[in-house]
Structure 1
Amino acid sequence: MADDNALLVGRGTLIPGRELSEAFIRAGGPGGQNVNKVATAVQLRFAAAASSVLTDDVKRRLLKLAGSRATKEGEIVIEASRFRVLERNRDDARQRLAALVEAALVPPPPPRKKTRPSRGAVERRLKEKRGRSQVKRMRGTIGD
């Protein structure tokens, strides 16, 4: 059974429509009578903490990436009011959520291991420094 409201994210991850909810609200800002009468802004909510398709690590990264868009209950709220048309705002909100989830799906790189230079590398560096020092010393004035 295909879910019409489902959101395809990245490579094969599908967020079911039951985990998303949309509310259509009036947009603020300029626009005159149209803004005051028509609810074209979209408020998209995704219950990330209760999601059945995301792992715990992905949920944790997603809520961290969401920042102030995440609520204490683990819900992500995205508001879109860039466009005058409801459908474009709806698509914009869904694309922004998909990009956020896709970024959270990428695991962080492993921490860098500190390494020490080998003895040979240290000796080569010091030899090079002595050589440069000698070249610069030879540039000086010749004393009597």
Structure 2
Amino acid sequence: MNFSKEDLARETSFKASRSGGKGGQNVNKVSSRVELNFDIEASALFNEEQRLLLKQKLASRLNKDGLVQVVCDEERSQLLNRQIALEKLYALVVKAFEKPKVRKPTKVSRAAKAARLDQKKQHAAKKESRRKGFDY
């Protein structure tokens, strides 16, 4: 990856609003809730292929304008909320570029097969012994 949090910060826009939750009277006066918007299409950090991948992976995060939206109102401080929102965006982008591990198909071991068959034989013998005891 050839980008950092600082690079992302340069290409994001922030909007502050009043936040609910803890803070007492402070909550009614201070705009500490932060809404971060990131435009994938306008970003100079990624090439066309990477933009398509980001749009696919972050489709559920896109708003009607096609912007990735991250909202944070965890802290009482607007500055802290901006930092947290930026970290969340960075984590989303990094996760979108991660390649999933290729699953290696495995076979059932010979010992496991033998154990299963042995268990089936025991179960069948138990049922057989019950059947022999009853003659109608």
Shorter chain as denominator, the TM-score bin is: 0.5 to 0.7
SS in 2 for 1:78: strand
Select the structure that is richer in helix.
Answer: 2
Match of 1:96 in 2: 88
Q: Distance in 2 between matches of 1:96 and 1:80?
A: 9
SS in 2 for 1:50: coil
Match of 1:85 in 2: 77
Match of 2:66 in 1: 74
More divergent stretch after superposition (85-94 vs 29-38): 29-38
| Greater relative CO (CA pairs within 8 A, separation 6+) | 2
Aligned-pair CA distance for 1:84: 1.0
State the identity as a percent: 30
Q: Is the 2:15–2:34 contact (alpha carbons within 8 Å) kept by the matching residues of 1? A: yes
Match of 2:55 in 1: 60
Aligned-pair CA distance for 1:135: 4.6
Deviations 1:85-134 (A, max 9, x none): 12211121112112222221223455898xxx9xxxxxx79965466424
Q: Tell me the amino acid that sits aligned with residue 39 of structure 1.
A: S
Q: Tell me the amino acid that sits aligned with residue 53 of structure 1.
A: L
Show structure 2 runs of 5+ residues with no match. 109-113
Q: Tell me the amino acid that sits aligned with residue 45 of structure 1.
A: N
Show structure 1 runs of 5+ residues with no match. 1-10, 118-123
Q: Tell me the amino acid that sits aligned with residue 26 of structure 1.
A: R
Q: Is the 1:22–1:42 contact (alpha carbons within 8 Å) kept by the matching residues of 2? A: yes
Q: Tell me the amino acid that sits aligned with residue 30 of structure 2.
A: V
Match of 2:128 in 1: 137
Aligned pairs, number = 126
Equivalent of residue 20 in structure 2, options 2, 22, 28: 28
Deviations 1:31-77 (A, max 9, x none): 3432222222212111123333340353134423xx2x421332112
Q: Distance in 2 between matches of 1:85 and 1:43?
A: 13
TM-score using structure 2 length? 0.64
TM-score using structure 1 length? 0.61
